[in-house]
Amino acid sequence: MKSFLIVGLGNIGVDYKGTRHNIGFDVVDALAKEKETSFETLRYGDVAKITNKGKNAYLLKPNTFMNRSGKAVRYWMQQKKIPKENLLIITDDIHLDFGFLRMRKKGSDGGHNGLKDICAQLNSSGYTRLRFGIGADFNKGRQVDFVLQPWNTDEVKTLPFAIEKATQAIWCFMAEDAVAAMNKFNGNTLEL
């Protein structure tokens, strides 16, 4: 059976829960909830196993903190014998407006430290990533404060819908492929 590794990037601990930087955790939590499963704390992260349309997926929330995400990704790819084409990383992106999704089969880290570490650990940037737009409503030099803040009131209203679109994109990635998911889901979640 074809298996996937779906990784949501974030930081562990109550201080980071519900912040923009943890949207990757929120999306994999939504996938687990939809499949009525829970996470188990194992080596380098919290892991849940789901099945969708005859395909297995391991959901991973690394506990290595954002800047060391690659160690957890590499470990679980090796443990579960996941080929690079079946890896999907979900991350926040300040270069996209809030609620925009952008899936790519490969690319740069875009200045994101989690992706940078994954590229270094895998010695490749050739893996699929789903970027979730969080906007860039911050003054120069205040990026760290912005990404570690909770969503604002307006964002909270539409966030569940945007997360649902992200989960649909992931199901499409698993059922078909990255190109199909890109064609259907790249763009503004409020218009998809």
Which residue, chain included where needed, has tokens 């059976």? 1
How far lies 60's CA from each of 156, 157, 188, in Å? Answer: 24, 26, 26
CA distance 89 to 182: 14
Is position 95 annotated as part of the catalytic site? no
Catalytic residue among 20, 21, 102, 131: 21
Would strands 45-52 and 55-62 be described as parallel, antiparallel, or unpaired?
antiparallel
Kindly list the distances between the CA atom of residue 184 and the CA atoms of 52, 119, 124, in Å, as whole numbers in the listed order. 19, 26, 26
Q: Are 69 and 114 in contact (CB under 8 A)?
A: yes
Q: Which residues are catalytic?
A: 21
